[in-house]
Amino acid sequence: MAEQTERAYQYQPGVFQNTKLAAKKKSSGALKRWYCDVGLGFKTPKEAIEGTYIDKKCPFTSGTISIRGRILTGVVVSTKMKRTIVIRREYLHYIPKYNRYEKRHKNLSAHLSPAFIGVEAGDQVTVGQCRPISKTVRFNVLKVQKKIVKGAGAKQFTKF
């Protein structure tokens, strides 16, 4: 019941919770959970399958979000939003006159499913494009690679 924090009852729409058979097997205590494979070789996290969170924008436990289009990677800049993160994607832009490059970056907001716990600033993250989730969010986090602890901070330039 820890996930019922909102004013409306949180549940997975595809799962019917009150079948009579379920009443007989109440000993297990756990509700049936729906999860899916997002495709493209991405492994669905264990927490998505075993957890109890309800997130209608999670690509693994919601039937309404499909991952299609672009798959991008970036470095996490901030995790202060509720269930969404800001990613920084760096790239080099070529100036033909001087035959040289300049550093540029773009920020991107991506939805972070509760299946991924312990995501901090500096982690590398793979995001996949999905339908618009909010005003600025069109991507959903698919994979997290934790930061290797070194001296360098996240804001320093790292090319992918």
- The only residue of 3, 15, 19, 32 in contact with other proteins, by rule CB under 8 A: 19
What number of residues does the chain have? 160
**Span interacting with other proteins, options 2-10, 39-47, 89-97, 112-120, rule CB under 8 A:** 2-10
> What does the alpha-carbon distance between residue 77 and residue 89 come to, in Å, rounded to a whole number?
10
From residue 92 to residue 111, what is the string marking binding to other proteins with x (rule CB under 8 A)? -----------------x--
Query: Which element (helix H / strand E) includes 124?
Result: strand 124-129
Q: How far is CA 51 from CA 42, 46, 48, 124, in A?
A: 18, 8, 5, 23
3-state secondary structure of 96: coil
Using CB under 8 A, which of the segments 13-21, 32-40, 58-66, 87-95 binds other proteins?
A: 13-21
Which x/- pattern, by CB under 8 A, does the window 31-50 give for other proteins?
x-------------------
DSSP code of residue 123: -
Find the binder of other proteins among 82, 93, 97, 135 (CB under 8 A): 135
Name the nearest CA neighbour of 108 among 129, 123, 92: 129
Binding site for other proteins (CB under 8 A): 1, 4, 6-9, 11, 16-20, 23, 31, 109, 135-136
